[in-house]
Amino acid sequence: MRYYETAFLVAPNLPEEDREKFINQMSQWVSQNKGKMIKVEKWGKKKMAYPIKKFNEAFYVFFLYEGEPDIPVELERRFKHSESVIRYLTVKKEPTEVEEEKKKSKEESPKGEKGTTEASPGSKEGT
């Protein structure tokens, strides 16, 4: 099993409940296909450096997960067919990077604070 991080930008005109439903569907899909979702980061709506598909801002989402090589391929195929996703990128992560990130996220989010979550979708607005 390998570690991957997938970043994707969701169109800003998508209603909040549809956006959350889409993110949850993608997250659950990874878990249902022998993958393990480690972290879901939602950065919120941010201004982009340049327009993409006539949008000047987008909702940023990051998935950190473990799985077989076919999982990111299928995830990207689903993004490609979705009009909601305006850009995406997947990178392979080294196990040492993942361990450091887990340790860092535990230090940054003390009990009761919203932010990144492990194994379930969370919210990280305004970072």
Query: Over the chain (127 residues), what is each successive 10-residue block's mean pLDDT?
Result: 94 94 94 91 94 94 93 93 94 84 70 46 43
**Residue 80 exposed, middle or buried by CB count within 10 Å (0-12, 13-18, 19+):** exposed
Q: Within the chain, how many helices (H) and strands (E) appear?
A: 3, 5
pLDDT number for residue 1: 86
pTM for the structure as a whole: 0.77
pLDDT, tens digit, 9 for 90 and up, residues 7-36: 999 999 999 999 999 999 999 999 999 899
At 41 the three-state DSSP class reads strand
